[in-house]
């Protein structure tokens, strides 16, 4: 009876919203707004409506997806539920995942496809050369683009949890279940692809765990940090392995090893470039983690040592590549560095560690006050 009463209140509020033009033409969004309005009109001590609106206006700039993610962790037994690495991609019967059972489900939305686009472009320009394919040839790209685009878009959609309500819980607990079923149905799933998707889940769990530990001033493990940064580019490896499978070619382990160390250096470069933003939004960032583990003075030095060791391995593997492929890839790296505007780019130019933010809490508070 209580549930029916709540449902009636939501429907009445949505009807009221329509009379005021306060609608978004999306059922889930309208329901969210209706529940928010219902919350605001409920009595809360001596707070009047003006005071409630003032509080929301004051604190709204501090709200973000990462803030809500962090709040979710605090509500989940102080983050303990996130400490376990998911094992949702298991050896199980996936006959219920075949197209006949989910044709009516909007598996990939336009927003996810748009967000995946830049990754797909970079993948085509950086990785097709390892398959002796011309990235400037439409025929070469469009032949395999549907599967690659769907896969990367699905990954972005799983990251952002922007599915319809009936899929939300599935994506949170078993984010790649439908993707695994689809690839298996089309004969594209290999054990290595399955493993990389497992690594993706592991990365997301580690990312949340480490960010929670950082904010709650818990001890951060260097092993977990290094594991996370190595796993972060799992989607590129999934796409690359898929391309081998689509072309019916055997995986080139030398190329995979070289690209893996290159991905590692690129992720560090990206983290240095995004350092201030990642501090503000409490995102996983290797420099943040090194500063917490080793301190603001030693942290950058230890990271520089890590970069040097990785670059030495990168150079050794680069020499093992076909000379023409080596030249083409280095040329592509030059283009990517210039296009990204990064001063800490890889593998050309000089690495630059941004100014260290020793007190992240004060930094966020100061920026919030300025806003």
- Return the pLDDT at 3: 63
Token pair for residue 2?
Answer: 């209580």
Mean pLDDT score of the chain: 83
CB 184 within 8 A of CB 57: no
Same domain, 176 and 238: yes
- Highest-pLDDT range among 111-115, 167-171, 274-278: 274-278
Residues 113 and 220 in one domain: yes
Same domain membership, residue 221 and residue 97: yes
User: Is 69 part of a structural domain of the chain?
Assistant: no
| Between 180 and 19, the higher pLDDT residue | 180
Element (H, E) at 69: helix 65-75
Of 105 and 205, more confident? 205
93 in the same domain as 37:
no
The pLDDT of 26-39, averaged and rounded, is: 79
For 242, other C-beta atoms within 10 Å of its C-beta total 21
Out of 87-96, 136-145, 339-348, which region has the weakest mean confidence (pLDDT)?
87-96
Q: Do residues 227 and 262 both lie within one domain?
A: no
Say how far residue 183 (Cα) sits from the centre of its chain: 21
- Longest CA pairwise span in the chain (Å): 74
Tokens 């201030």: give the residue: 276
**End-of-domain residue from the set 13, 34, 59:** 59
Q: Is residue 64 part of a domain?
A: no
Residue 126 is assigned to a structural domain of this protein: yes
209 vs 274: CA distance, rounded Å: 20
Write the DSSP symbol of residue 233.
T
User: What residue numbers bound the domain in which 93 lies?
Assistant: 74-244
295 and 207, same domain (yes or no): no
Q: Is 7 exposed, middle or buried (0-12, 13-18, 19+ CB in 10 A)?
A: exposed
318-348: pLDDT as tens digits: 999 999 999 999 999 989 888 866 544 454 4
Same domain as 189, residue 296: no
pLDDT of residue 35: 83
Query: Does 67 map to a domain?
Result: no
Sign of CA dihedral 180, 183, 186, 187: negative
User: Predicted confidence band at 99 (pLDDT cuts at 50, 70, 90)?
Assistant: very low
Residue 349's pLDDT is 54
Q: Are residues 33 and 78 in the same domain?
A: no
pLDDT at 357 over 60: yes
Question: What's the structural domain count of the chain?
Answer: 3
Same structural domain, 235 and 86? yes
Q: Work out the average pLDDT over 28-46.
A: 78
pLDDT in tens, 179-237: 999 999 999 999 999 999 999 999 999 999 999 999 999 999 999 999 999 999 999 99
37: its two tokens? 């309005």
* Same structural domain, 24 and 93: no
Instruction: Provide the b/e sequence for 84-117 (b: ≥16 CB within 10 Å).
Output: eebebbeeeebeebeeeeeeeeebbbeebbebbe
Closest CA to 272 of 337, 202, 206: 337
Q: Which has the minimum average pLDDT: 100-109, 195-204, 291-300?
A: 100-109
How many CB atoms are closer than 10 A to CB 24? 11
């Amino acid at each position: 009876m209580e549930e029916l009463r709540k449902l009636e209140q939501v429907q009445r509020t949505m009807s009221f919203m329509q009379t005021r033009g306060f609608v978004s033409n999306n059922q889930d969004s309208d329901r969210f707004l209706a529940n928010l309005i219902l919350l605001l009109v409920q009595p809360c001590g001596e707070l009047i409506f003006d005071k409630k609106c003032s509080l929301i206006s004051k604190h709204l700039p501090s709200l973000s997806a990462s803030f809500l993610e962090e709040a979710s962790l605090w509500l989940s037994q102080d983050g303990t539920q996130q400490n376990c690495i998911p094992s949702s991609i298991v050896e199980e019967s996936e006959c219920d995942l075949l197209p006949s059972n989910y044709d009516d489900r909007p598996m990939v939305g336009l927003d996810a496809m748009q967000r995946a686009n830049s990754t797909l472009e970079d993948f085509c320009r950086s990785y097709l050369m390892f398959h002796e394919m011309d990235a400037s040839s439409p025929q070469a790209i469009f032949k395999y683009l549907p599967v690659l685009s769907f896969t990367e878009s699905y990954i972005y959609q799983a990251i952002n949890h922007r599915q319809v309500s009936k899929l939300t819980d599935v994506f949170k607990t078993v984010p790649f279940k439908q993707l695994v079923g689809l690839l298996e149905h089309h004969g594209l799933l290999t054990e290595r692809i399955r493993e990389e998707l497992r690594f993706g889940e592991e990365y997301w769990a580690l990312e949340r765990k480490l960010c929670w530990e950082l904010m709650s001033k818990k001890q951060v493990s260097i092993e977990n940090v290094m594991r996370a940064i190595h796993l972060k580019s799992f989607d590129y490896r999934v796409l690359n392995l898929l391309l081998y499978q689509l072309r019916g070619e055997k995986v080139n382990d030398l190329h995979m090893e070289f690209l893996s160390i290159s991905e590692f250096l690129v992720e560090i470069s990206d983290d240095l470039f995004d350092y201030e933003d990642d501090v503000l939004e409490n995102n996983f960032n290797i420099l943040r983690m090194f500063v917490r583990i080793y301190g603001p003075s030693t942290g950058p030095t230890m990271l520089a040592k890590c970069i040097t060791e990785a670059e030495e391995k990168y150079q050794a593997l680069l020499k093992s590549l076909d000379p023409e492929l080596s030249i083409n890839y280095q040329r592509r790296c030059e283009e990517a560095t210039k296009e990204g505007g990064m001063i800490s780019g890889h593998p050309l130019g000089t690495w630059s560690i941004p100014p260290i933010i020793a007190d992240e809490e004060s930094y966020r508070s100061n920026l919030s006050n300025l806003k």
